Amino acid sequence: MDRLEGLSKLAGLERYVGDLLVEGCWWGATVRSPSPRGRIRRIRFRPEVDWSDFAVVDARDIPGANCIRHIEDDQPALALDRVRHVHEPVLLVAHPSRSAVRRAVRAVEIEVDEDDPVLDFRSAPRPAGIQHGTDNVFSRITIEKGDLESAMAEAAYIVEGVYETGAQEHVCLETQGMLANVEDGVVVVRGSMQCPFYVKEAISHALAKSGDEVRVIQTPTGGGFGGKEDYPSMIGVHAALLAQRVGHPVRMIYDRREDMAATPKRHPSRIRHRTGVDANGRLVAQDVDILLDGGAYTTLSPVVVSRAAIHATGPYACTNARVRGRVVLTNSVPCGAFRGFGGPQAHFANERHMDVIAASLGMDPAELRRRNLLRDGDATLTGQIIEDGTDRVALMDRALEIASVPEKRSRHREFNRSHAYLRRGIGMAAVHHGCGFTGDGEDRLDSRVEVAGLADGAIEVRTASTEMGQGATTILTKLAADRLDFDPRRVRIAPPDTARVPDSGPTVASRTAMIVGKLVEDACDDLRRRLGVAPSCDGEALAEALRGWHLAHPRLLPIGEARYRRASAQGWDASRHRGDAYGAYSWATQVAEVEVDLRTGVARVVDFVSVQDVGRVLDRLLATGQVEGGVAQSLGWALLEQVRFDRGAMINPSLTEYAVPSCRDVPPIRVEFVESPYAGGGQGARGLGEIPADGPAPAIANAIADATGSRPDALPLTAERLAAVIELVPRGGLDGAGTPT
Amino acid sequence: MSVRIEFRLNGRPAAVTVDESLRLLDLLRDELGLRGAKEGCAEGRCGACCVLLDGLPVNACLVLAVQVRGSAVETIEARDESRLQALLRSGATQCGACSPGVAQTVLWIAEHPDVAESFALEDLLAGHLCRCTGYRGIVEGARRTIEAEKA
């Protein structure tokens, strides 16, 4: 089956929120804080703009609670008297003309009595810097297992390391955008988003509206990657406030600079590892300390640090461990969800550290991993017994085989001996990713799905799962069609519209194919039951029963329903982070080959292999695309993408100044799947969206370490930064032998 | 200041009065309702607004509307959808925001075999940023489009 909306996208026919033509629409824009921290002294509206033509909304105009509803209600929709980061929203303005509204934004001056901002998450704040609780810690978590100190004392070796990663901007090709209107007393918001029910909840809360008075409809979404998990609640509230004020539809579409400067980033991290290893290379004691930069408000940070902690010891059997995680406040743009959600930071540190351990022991890095990878029956950090049929050692060995690791290593030795300034190396990472929400999170989501039998003989699948490029529409269509033995052309996916679909949870956490997909199958089964069709009957019998139903009940749709139920065996103690953290895990080994130019510090990835077990692969082309795209994004995070901050503000918010990979930066990526089906997922699927982004950065860094004998322990490894950790060769090469290529 | 310009748009004559500071991208999208070209970066880096100007791919965000006076502009809307099958089947599109621009360049390459033979596809396509695919699908789709159109 081809991607259902693919041709429409290629042909330029897909209508994103910025493409919708709306009669009488006004443009909305945001006036933002110029200061990282302080009290707003005065807001001056300069007279070159005739302000009587404009609608202006400030914090006092918010009818409900002035906050963006996430985990805590600490982030205002509009700053009232204090600001906590540059680019924090302070005012909204609207006008029928887009250029006029842009002029108006420039004509507002916000004067702030500044306090000293907290800018470096790695240093403890001074008392005057405390802005959250007593210590600026948004959330802390400790996971303990076994007896760490005794095991550490008995270990044959103790290896330590400190690893750092930088912020990353999502760079969805479609920027954030919303269109709001009040229709018959209902606030209707259309826009680019991953989670329509999050946006609905945020608007209800801020505008003091009941659930019936707010309707949120997802428009085709040009990339998400987590960037459209929490921020659409902000811009959705803003657009709704303006629409309510002006009485016309209001559109807010961020340009690239605003989108990059003002929206959440991947959390920067510093992670310390102290590991006890026995004489046979078994990890016997793992002490991990995770510190994340949360930015100015809580947003989703407590869940990000939790996921980072749970993944901190990697896909290895774990007997004695202590993992501590903290996420702290700084006066910079809040960090939020980004593909992997704490996993990539945890895996970067852990997989770099595995190579550092291997080097300390004089052991082959693959062999060290082989001795420690989880076998079925082993327990994870949280005490979850893994018994899912994946042979993680075989999976890793398959990746090494495809990548020809031993042959490459010996060829590289030869090459590196003879070449004046190029160094080649190969590196690997073994990673895992918990699928769906953590612990009892899926119970709390209480996801529901409906499948309706329409009068025209088609089936309508109603979920809140959004298509953002990952292929949800195609996958859910396929799952329903296969389950009902229907032609996929007779399956329709209802638009994610909170007035039309049940809440099947957010489109995040690699949960759509697995959890929502399974619910679609269950709802299909329920529809059969309601139509009185035996499970064994084919699609024709079902179609016949559907015709019969509509003859008998002309105005009543038969609707199959399903609701999430956790497998009874899955136990979780949230207070201690003990037990079954996820219903299933996906597993991967990724191998990168790099070439480093010792004259410049430029590292290029020349080959990449990704082997993963994501359960049953539902569509090979779509699944391969998820892997390739995740690898490319992570390659960018590892080598190219550097968010530069000044006083907590991104000062390179453009695609000229912030480099994302182009097709010249991405090597051929060889993708192979191992398929161990998971009974709790649609057709046996496990999560796929995020695991591809977990391993590339450590694999690339390990390859650079292999090539150069250096310790590239801090991302991004841009040429400038890599040049600081490797020994450069003068341009022109040694003895004049090298010439630029 | 407003300026009246005449040009050819998707094979037909067009005449519009535009502000001299208006970008071609805004003329196409806002004034003429052709919304296939997208604004991705507004500074010529991402290629999402690619259109053909006198037969050459350009970023419409970097061209002023007045510059197309007397020229021929072709947008994705003028392209035959059947020529996009190879891109679709190679996995060249995911979120789709870069796709109309990518498709423009790929079809243009397919129409210029000499260009396709002289340059690597990775170089010809490097002006299009895609955040979803990792580019394999795009490059593979370009190769298959060129193959299909050679035959």
- Residues A721-737 have a mean pLDDT of 71
Domain coordinates in residue numbering, chain B: 2-77, 79-150
CA-closest candidate to residue A637, choices A619, A653, A658, A622: A658
Interatomic CA distance for residues A90 and A413, integer angstroms: 58
pLDDT in tens, A249-260: 999 999 999 999
Interface subset of B 25-64, CB within 8 angstroms of A: 29, 33, 35-43, 45-46, 48
Interatomic CA distance for residues A539 and A558, integer angstroms: 16
| d(CA B31, nearest CA chain A) in Å | 11
- B144 interfacial to chain A (CB closer than 8 Å): no
| d(CA A355, nearest CA chain B) in Å | 27
- B79 interfacial to chain A (CB closer than 8 Å): yes
CA-closest candidate to residue A484, choices A530, A541, A532: A541
For residues A648-675, one letter each, b for 16 or more C-beta atoms within 10 angstroms of the residue's C-beta and e for the rest, the string is bbbebbbbeebbbbbbebbbebbbebbe
Q: For the domain with range B2-77, which CATH number is right: 3.40.50.10860, 3.90.170.10, 3.10.20.30, 3.30.390.10?
A: 3.10.20.30
- pLDDT number for residue A204: 98
- pLDDT number for residue A730: 78
A725 confidence band (pLDDT: 50, 70, 90): confident
Which candidate from B33, B48, B76 shows the least CB-CB separation from A11?
A: B76
- pLDDT number for residue A567: 76
With a CB cutoff of 8 Å and minimum separation 6, the contacts of A280 are: A371
pLDDT in tens, A260-309: 999 999 999 999 999 999 999 999 999 999 999 999 999 999 999 999 99
* Predicted confidence (pLDDT) at residue A562 exceeds the cutoff of 60: yes
For testing contact with chain A, the best of B28, B43, B88, B95 (most A CBs within 10 A): B95
Find tokens 């089964």 and name the residue. Answer: A525
Interatomic CA distance for residues A372 and B148, integer angstroms: 50
A733 confidence band (pLDDT: 50, 70, 90): very low
- Tokens representing residue A621 in the block: 């082309």
Domain with CATH 3.90.1170.50 in chain A: 6-115+176-253
Which candidate from A21, A221, A666 shows the least CB-CB separation from B95?
A: A221
Say whether A15 and B35 touch across the interface (CB within 8 A): yes
CB-CB neighbors (< 8 A) of A226 in chain B: none
pLDDT in tens, A75-102: 999 999 999 999 999 999 999 999 999 9
- Tokens representing residue A295 in the block: 């930015």
pTM above 0.90, yes or no: yes
- Which ipTM value was assigned to this complex? 0.99
Decide: A314 and A352 in contact? Cβ < 8 Å.
no
Write the class of the CATH domain A6-115+176-253. alpha beta
Decide: A190 and A235 in contact? Cβ < 8 Å.
no
The sign of the CA dihedral A637, A641, A647, A651 is negative
Work out the mean pLDDT of chain A and round it to a whole number.
Answer: 96
- A631 interfacial to chain B (CB closer than 8 Å): yes
Name the burial class of residue A407, with classes exposed (0-12), middle (13-18) and buried (19+) by CB atoms within 10 angstroms of its CB: exposed
Say whether A629 and B123 touch across the interface (CB within 8 A): no
Answer yes or no: CATH 3.90.1150.10 is held by domain A269-437+578-727.
no
| d(CA A637, nearest CA chain B) in Å | 12
Interatomic CA distance for residues A160 and A276, integer angstroms: 9
Say whether B43 and A13 touch across the interface (CB within 8 A): no
- A13 interfacial to chain B (CB closer than 8 Å): yes
User: What single letter denotes the amino acid at residue A482?
Assistant: D
Interatomic CA distance for residues A341 and A336, integer angstroms: 8
Interface subset of B 96-115, CB within 8 angstroms of A: 96-100, 102-103
- pLDDT number for residue A728: 81
pLDDT in tens, A382-427: 999 999 999 999 999 999 999 999 999 999 999 999 999 999 999 9
Write the class of the CATH domain A447-563. alpha beta
Which backbone phi and psi does A188 adopt, to 5 degrees?
-110, 125
B25 confidence band (pLDDT: 50, 70, 90): very high
Percent of chain B's residues with pLDDT above 90: 98
CATH fold of B79-150: DNA polymerase; domain 1 (1.10.150)
A429 confidence band (pLDDT: 50, 70, 90): very high
- Residues A532-556 have a mean pLDDT of 95
CB-CB neighbors (< 8 A) of B79 in chain A: 11
Say whether B132 and A5 touch across the interface (CB within 8 A): no
| d(CA B126, nearest CA chain A) in Å | 6
* Predicted confidence (pLDDT) at residue A735 exceeds the cutoff of 50: no
CA atoms within 13 A on the CB side of A204: 15
Domain with CATH 3.30.365.10 in chain A: 269-437+578-727, 447-563
Say whether A10 and B42 touch across the interface (CB within 8 A): no
- pLDDT number for residue A739: 42
- pLDDT number for residue A731: 66
A318 confidence band (pLDDT: 50, 70, 90): confident
